[in-house]
Amino acid sequence: MDAGLVGCFTWLRPTRLRSRAEKVDGRPAPSRHDNDQIRPTLAEYSFEAGKQTVVVLEKAAGLIGVPFAKEALGVALALINEITIIEEQVKNVKNRICGLMLIIVDTVHEKELDDLSTDIQTGVESLTCNLAKITRDLNDIKDQNRWLTFFFKNLNKAKLDDCIDRLQEALEQFQMSRELRTAEELHHIQTRLEAIYGLTKEVASRVGEIQTRVDLMDSKVDEIKAMMKKAQVNRASILPWREMPMKPAHFHGRDAVVADVARLLVSGEKPRVCILGPGGIGKTSVALAVMENVAVENKFGKENCFWIPCVGATSPGLLLQILYSNLRITRDTGDALGDIRIELQASTEPRVVLLDNFETPWNPREGDQKEVELILRSLSSLPRIAILVTMRSNFPPSNEIDWEYENLPPTDDASSRKIYTDIDPTAAAHSALYDLLHALGNMPFAITLMATLAKKSKSSPDELLKMWRKGGTDMLSKPQEGMNHCISLSVDSKIVSDNPEALTLLATLSMLPAGTDHHHLDWWAPTLKNKAGAIATLSDAALIVDRELGGCVMISVLPVVQSFMRQSDRISETVRKHVQATCYKFACGHKSSPGEPTFKDDVVALEGEETNVQAILLEVAMHVAGGDGLPCSISLREINADTDTLLDALLAFSWYQYWSKPRVEVAERAVISLKIDRYPDACSHFEEARICFRTLSDGPDLLHAGRCGLALSDTYQYMSKPSTVVEKFVLEAQNDFNECGSEYGLACGLFGLGVFYWYRGGRDEGLPQFDAAKAAFENLHRPVDVAHCLHEAARCHAGGGRYSEALDASKRALQDYEDLGLTHQRCEALIRMTRYLKMLDRDDDALAILPRSLEECQRLGSPLLIAQTLEEFGEIYTCRKDYSAARAAYEGAQEQYESMSGTYLDHRGAARCQHNLLQITRMEKNPTNNSICLRYAPRY
């Protein structure tokens, strides 16, 4: 029933009425007569109450869902309507019925039919029958004539009293029934409450027991936690993880890269850094130095720096095991990656993880690389985790991770020397140490092994260099360790062995010590079907190095890898024979002489592959001469079959080097020995050659014998021999040319005579000889010899003080040499032009030429020409009082002069530089001293 509706009946609830004798607030109760004028009478209130009750009960009857209760209310309402006709007589009946209705409503208004007890239903039904009978009786009284009611009031009153008595009896019966039921229910409730109370006491007792157990459990939990913590610590301590090693004791030349990597690790939120490079380059050493860096230790703390050695992680599963143990993970749910992630993610401290030698899991022998990438990316996604990777590759793993990376180069010369001499101090002053370090490619691991071998065997660098050229990496190797093992980890890796063309390309490049242009691979290795795939594989394994040089991409193999491949027949006979045949064809295909249309292009082509061609030719030539230089599997018969081709290639390459960069290693020819400033050796070879030409079995070749005689005279001039000795060879050459009757020989005789006159001191005496020779060579179309005549004529003009004429002749000679592509002669002409410009007070023009001259002389490798160029620098800087620059120039020149041996020029040059350095020191101490006196190089 609606709460608002129930509230409407609260004013009808019975209250105890005060007696008239009771006092209100201590005062006598007012009499009825006193209130007649100020409030309605009780009769008026009763009448109004009747009307309001009727309205309310009409509403209540419509809201109650119990059928028999609604019927009873309806009958009661009808009865009230009847009684209102005789208001004063039935007011007590109406009030009682209203009270009854309130009881009924209060009993059933929130209950459904099934929820009511049988007694209540029976009582209401009985009351309904009584009310219905009373209503009929009242209706009978009502239906009488009003006059009868008026005149027989007592009779009707008796009838009405009877209705009231029956109503009172019905009400008393219903109320008693309800009270009995209520008492029964109260007894039942009391019984239930007693049961609940007993149950509550039992629950309270058990709760107390539980509390005691909880208290005991708390203490047990604390003990268990302590035990678990102790167990975790103990478990982590016995897991098979390895302590992080220290960086090598002899660690030099890596300070910059260590600082750079450390900066990357401590500055980023999630740094991901790779150190890349071939085996033995020092990747792990650099990484360990980074982990020892102060900035890294300050940020992460030693306890949060983890070294993960991945060299044994040949599958994704093994990688997870190694990560699990070396990260000291204690969580164990069977999901290794999940356990690792959860423990690392739970930590609030930053951590740095070094994944060392990650090339092993990245190219797994079992499983899939995608599984490894998933593990790596999962680690990379974690916050507060810095990752440092070392890897034998030129590229970092996974393109899905934003890496910072360093491709580690070999150590510089000074650092390599420091590493070696730290281990073997006795080698510090040995001249062959530089060559030995270069043969090792400045690889720190190889240097360490070689120096250790030197210390134990008491071997000098030159002895070890000979052993290295013969035995290679085998001399630095033991089973499962050393240089061979280090290199084989890359060469025999799965990624390389799965690509046969990569092995073919590696073998080919191992025969080319200088590497080659990317485009030249088409003829060095024409059998490759997927050249790009082979290059990519070798690059992934860090077995090749690429660099940009003059707009070209050069691809090469490190020296230690070349040595490894050349031992134990690792290069197949097919590859070896093809590379040699290609070399012969290349050298012979670019054979030409100065003045020929293709000469300059041929020089450029041979220059690009010079080191490779020279190495291949010397290797085969050494084997032909003495049986050394090639693997035992190459028979002498196979070499002899190609002897003619080999000889043609040797001659073609020898002439190239004569005209460009003379090297005695290729052909022991006297003319080449002269051009590299080894004058005593050149003299003996020239003399031997002249005798051979004069005693040939099919007749003497006097033209070439005469040219050998002129070469001898030139060499003796460089050695400052007496003019009488020089004149002897000049006159003998003139006789040879006259006897052979060759116009070219006669012109050469004129040229040689002019040179001798210059040497003897006849500056102007030699000029007519050069002019006559120049005319003869022009008639014979010999542009090279014409340029030589101009070059020597310029010197004659300078000796006579005619520097303008000298500069003009020198410029013409320089142009011819440039057109012909003659590097050595071009350098000489540049130096002479510098001297002539100085004498004309054009120092600025001279300084503009000197850098170019020095660069070309250094590329040529001639100590004499380098020294002469540096001397010109020193003189100009001294005149400008730039003493620091002058000192550096003279010191460099002195060093170059002293590197030569057995010549007059080197002694004079070194002494001149020493004197000038002393003069510069005096000027530095006393700038106002104007008595400085330099010794100048020749002005011609």
User: 3-state SS string over 245-264?
Assistant: CCCCCCCCCCHHHHHHHHHH
CA distance 908 to 868: 12
CA distances from 48 to 52, 54, 263, 688 (A): 6, 10, 99, 161
CA distance 226 to 710: 100
CA distance 658 to 675: 8
In this prediction, the residues of the chain whose per-residue pLDDT falls under 70 are: 1-125, 127, 131, 137-161, 163-164, 167-190, 192-194, 196-197, 199-201, 203-204, 207-242, 480, 622-644, 661-679, 901-905, 929-932
Q: Which of 374, 392, 244 is nearest to 311 (CA)?
A: 392
| Number of CB atoms found within 10 A of residue 162's CB | 12
What residue spans of 113-152 are helical by DSSP H? 118-143, 146-151
- Which residues are registered as beta bridge partners of 555? 516, 546
| Number of CB atoms found within 10 A of residue 678's CB | 20
pTM of the model: 0.58
Q: Which of 823, 863, 868 is nearest to 850 (CA)?
A: 868
- Beta-carbon contacts of 491 under 8 Å, excluding residues fewer than 6 positions away, are 506, 541, 543, 561, 564, 565
CA atoms within 13 A on the CB side of 106: 14
Three-class DSSP category at 200: helix
Q: Is 538 exposed, middle or buried (0-12, 13-18, 19+ CB in 10 A)?
A: buried
In this prediction, residue 411 carries a pLDDT of: 94
CA distance 662 to 865: 13
In the chain the domains, ranked by start, together with CATH numbers, are 42-181 (no CATH), 254-409 (3.40.50.300), 416-478 (no CATH), 493-568 (1.10.10.10)
What residue spans of 8-117 are helical by DSSP H? 32-35, 42-63, 67-83, 87-108
What's the token pair of residue 893? 């020149």
In this prediction, residue 883 carries a pLDDT of: 87
Residue type at 81? N
CA distance 864 to 853: 13
CA distance 86 to 79: 12
What's the token pair of residue 27? 């005062």
What's the token pair of residue 670? 């006297």
CA distance 416 to 161: 137
What's the token pair of residue 504? 């073919």
- Beta-carbon contacts of 361 under 8 Å, excluding residues fewer than 6 positions away, are 310, 313, 314, 315, 316, 318, 319, 372
| Number of CB atoms found within 10 A of residue 880's CB | 12
Q: Is 849 in contact with 830 (CB distance < 8 Å)?
A: yes
Q: Label residues 247-265 b or e (16+ Cβ within 10 Å = b).
A: bbebbbbbeebbeebbbbb
Instruction: Give percent helix, percent strand, percent coil of the chain, each to the nearest 5.
Output: 70, 5, 25
CA distance 175 to 178: 5
Give the pairing type, strands 272-276 and 385-391: parallel
Map tokens 């052993």 to a residue. 467
- Which residues are registered as beta bridge partners of 686? none
CA atoms within 13 A on the CB side of 524: 23
DSSP secondary structure code for residue 882 in this structure: -
User: DSSP string spanning 338-361?
Assistant: HHHHHHHHH--S-EEEEEETTHHH
